[in-house]
């Protein structure tokens, strides 16, 4: 999960912000990394829930993780709709630009929540006496 929300999220951020001059490359990088994040979040998140017999433990990490699982699909759908509206309309309509801005702000919010979820997950893992080595 840390790879998808660490490295790929950085690619999401940089492709939409710093690679704007290379529109085709930046959009494909944004799309591919977004799909990979969506798949990784859903597969790993649902797999983890399945391992715990679909019961949530109480804790900040679990609450944030479930929030991210629920929001990542909506974020991808919002990006798809925003891009479709921006490409299909002759002029960038107010609706399309609002959806694009909503996608951007929602993306930053999901990114923030996911980073906190990663941090609390690492802390929970360490508290249980597990090590990465």
Residues 110-123 have pLDDT tens digits of 999 999 999 998 88
Note whether residue 132 is domain-resident: no
Note whether residue 13 is domain-resident: yes
Question: For residue 132, what pLDDT is reported?
Answer: 56
User: For residue 48, what is the enclosing H or E element?
Assistant: helix 23-51
Distance CA 11, CA 8 (A): 5
Note whether residue 89 is domain-resident: yes
Question: For residue 107, what pLDDT is reported?
Answer: 93
Distance CA 36, CA 34 (A): 5
Domain count, the chain: 1
Q: Which residue segment(s) compose the domain that 117 sits in?
A: 2-127
Other beta carbons within 10 Å of 111: 18
């Amino acid at each position: 999960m840390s790879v998808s929300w660490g490295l790929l999220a950085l690619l999401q951020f940089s492709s939409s912000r710093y690679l704007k001059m290379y529109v085709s490359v930046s959009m494909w990088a944004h799309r591919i990394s977004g799909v990979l994040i969506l798949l990784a979040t859903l597969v790993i998140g649902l797999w983890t829930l399945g391992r715990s017999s679909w019961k949530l433990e109480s804790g900040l990490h679990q609450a944030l993780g479930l929030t991210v699982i629920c929001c990542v699909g909506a974020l991808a759908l919002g990006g798809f709709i925003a891009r479709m509206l921006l490409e299909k309309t002759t002029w960038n309509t107010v609706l399309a630009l609002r959806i694009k801005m909503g996608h951007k702000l929602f993306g930053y919010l999901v990114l923030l929540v996911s980073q906190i979820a990663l941090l609390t997950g690492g802390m929970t893992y360490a508290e249980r006496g597990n090590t990465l080595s």
